[in-house]
A and B are shown apart, each in its own frame.
Chain A
Amino acid sequence: MITRISGMILSAALISGLSVAVAAAQQPVTPPSAAPAPQPAKVPTDSIIARGEYLARAGDCIACHTAPEGQTFAGSRAMKTPFGTIFTSNITPDPTTGIGKWTADQFYTMMHTGRSIDGSLLYPAMPFASYTKVTRDDSDAIFAFLMSVPAVKQANRPHDLRFPYNNRSLIIGWRTLYFNEGEYKPDATKSAEWNRGAYLVEGLGHCGMCHTAINALGGSSESQAFEGGLIPMQNWYAPSLTSNKEAGLGDWSIKDITELLRDGISHRGAVYGPMADVVYNSLQYLSDDDVRAMAIYLKGLAQGSSPDRPSPPLPTAETSLLVSLGKPIYDKQCASCHGTEGAGMPPHYPLLAGNQSIQMSSAVNAIRMVLNGGFPPGTKGNPTPYGMPPFAHVLSDDEIAAVVTYIRTSWGNRGAPVSARQANELRSATLN
């Protein structure tokens, strides 16, 4: 997951950072001036710690801050980027190598402003741009929980970033363009449930870190929040959550959305790739109430956009050739699970007819699904998922293009055809 997010965030940080680097160079990096007023020290109760643990799950801190088979929260997980490797920090209470000497004030300031305790700017690979929305109370609970986990003495590994990306002051450029500091402000015109959902999705859930279009400057802008985009380096497309042509959930039932987020499978589709990571490490642990609140907010996000489909592709000679080539492959390799008419056997074998996730203008995910196969995440609600075999070693580029074109254009689906070149390019996509 780390590797998946980081490419995008770093390019966001650095490409746009460079564009305002001149301004940055003149601006000295100052420690945060408006630190919140110190609060009287509270002795955290067990219930606060338990709440903090739950909120840390909602923020998915563990996935980034724990190395494979490493000690929990001890950091040093590598995040590979086009500019080099970033290593996450030790956030256990060890006083010398972790955050054991921090106060709740300092922790809140870091979450809220994206500045470390010495005032230096953090790379946005740490999703402070979302965590800034977290309330002081919730921040304190997370801090109390982190202070209660076993301390691990393990020095942070220095980042291995190439010049000039190793210069933290470049981050100011990204911040100027894309960072809006400030806690979540409830919308009084909406229900409490909707507000809870918005708080989780925009804040701790940091969904916008992936589901946001990357504009020309390489960053995400407020107006395009949740519009989706390709995650660089990882070659997965994070679909728009606002458009019903992509992953907008406007015409999904609350029950289907809830199941998708919590269990990883639903009657409308299953999660895969980086989204399987989010469900596996974070969403499956959330309470039914919170998942429902997120579902209500997400459904509302896409309500405004019309559910119309892109116009049908013009049937060129090449397309019809692909489709006629694709059908026998589909019937032989795919129909046993997804059904000859694309009805699938939901929720275990997703339906393909009418499935938004394969008709998006980006065909990247459908092609990768066929190349690499996959299992939905093993969650509490679906502990022993059914899997899809990879076809990279079974089908040629032409056959992959043909079968993906077939599923994107059959049974009323309105996706565009894909070429063998696209299929070939994705063969080399990093797998994890």
Chain B
Amino acid sequence: MILIVCLLGDGPVLAAEMPPDTMAARMQACASCHGAMGEGTKDDYFPRLAGKPAGYLYNQLIAFREGRRRYPPMNFLLEFQNDAYLHKMAEYFAEQRPPLPAPAIPTVSNDLLARGEQLATKGDPQRNIPACAGCHGPSFTGMEPAIPGLLGLRPSYISAQLGAWRYGTRTAALPDCMQLVAGYLTEDDVKALAAWLSSRKAPPDTSPLPRGSLPMPLACGSEPN
């Protein structure tokens, strides 16, 4: 009896007094919004992080820390974290591969949905709109090091981000190609793209394409080639 108590007292019981030395434990502060593996939550607006290129996630974390991208609860959490730690956070979420959520069921007309597909895969050369696939990849899984996949995001999040670029509240490194692209889009285009992209089924491999594998239609400051 006494022996057992001693053993327990010295062994794993005491060790359990420290939290596990893992990124998963450290990132619990993010889980209620982004999911434990960055898979996203039921909330319409909280984005999936898992599997996006680490360079992309890192750029976002820096932008939040410096207040260039605004979402006060996140700006607050990251305010006093150093670059090296932000790198670790980005790498942690980039490595996760939880399954994608079920595709959203589109709530727009078939015409609008077709327009979304057209813009995303072919663009609209007459209105200077490049195909989203030209940078985000033919199956929209993104490209290393800094172009995110567009799968597993909800329509409200996609339209909010495109809107943020159009109104200048979200910016990326210059030349900010997404600002140019978003500037050419109308409200209806945005609605169409958000509906079509969020209704995509997951391709077998959701990994981002290797760096430099697409001849991008515009230069992007955040995606060196």
- A residues within 8 Å of B by Cβ? 68-69, 276-277, 279-280, 337, 345, 348-349, 372-375, 377-378, 383-394, 431-432
Contacts and interface: CB of A to CB of B under 8 A. Distances in A.
A277 B79 contact: yes
B85 A348 contact: no
B31 interface: yes
B110 interface: no
A389 B31 contact: yes
B66 A68 contact: yes
Nearest to A430: B72
A276 B19 CA distance: 21
A349 to B, nearest CB: 6
B75 A386 contact: no
B22 to A, nearest CB: 10
B80 A431 contact: no
A383 B26 contact: no
B88 interface: yes
Given A68-B66, A375-B77, A431 B27 contact: no
Given A349-B19, A375-B80, A378-B81, A68 B68 contact: yes
B77 A373 contact: yes
B156 interface: no
A348 B19 contact: yes
Contacts of B169: none
Interface in B52-95: 66-68, 72-73, 75-82, 84-85, 88
Contacts of A349: 19
Interface string B7-38: 00000000001110000011111111100000
Nearest to B75: A432
A374 B76 contact: yes
A406 B30 CA distance: 24
Nearest to B76: A431
Contacts of A394: 32
Most buried by A among B26, B67, B80: B80
Contacts of A280: 80
B19 A386 contact: yes
Nearest to A349: B19
Contacts of B18: 345, 348
B29 A389 contact: yes
A386 B85 CA distance: 11
B75 A384 contact: no
Interface in B180-215: none
B135 to A, nearest CB: 25
Nearest to B23: A384
B29 A387 contact: yes
B49 to A, nearest CB: 15
Contacts of B66: 68-69
A389 B30 contact: yes
Nearest to B82: A378
Given A384-B85, A389-B29, A345 B80 contact: no
A156 B81 CA distance: 28
Contacts of A276: 79-80
A390 B77 contact: yes
A377 to B, nearest CB: 4
Most buried by A among B17, B68, B79, B85: B79
B81 to A, nearest CB: 4
Given A390-B73, A431-B76, 12 more contacts: A337-B19, A348-B18, A374-B29, A378-B80, A385-B81, A386-B19, A386-B25, A386-B26, A386-B28, A386-B29, A389-B28, A432-B75
A59 to B, nearest CB: 18
22 contacts: A68-B67, A68-B68, A276-B80, A277-B80, A375-B80, A377-B80, A383-B82, A383-B85, A386-B25, A387-B26, A387-B29, A387-B30, A387-B77, A390-B29, A392-B73, A393-B33, A393-B43, A394-B32, A431-B73, A431-B75, A432-B72, A432-B75
Contacts of B82: 378, 383
Q: Would you list the 6 A-B pairs with minimal beta carbon distance, nearest first? A: A387-B29, A377-B80, A431-B72, A280-B80, A431-B76, A378-B81
B68 A69 contact: yes
A349 B82 CA distance: 20
A49 B88 CA distance: 34
Contacts of A388: 29
Contacts of B79: 276-277, 432
A102 B30 CA distance: 48
A394 B28 CA distance: 14
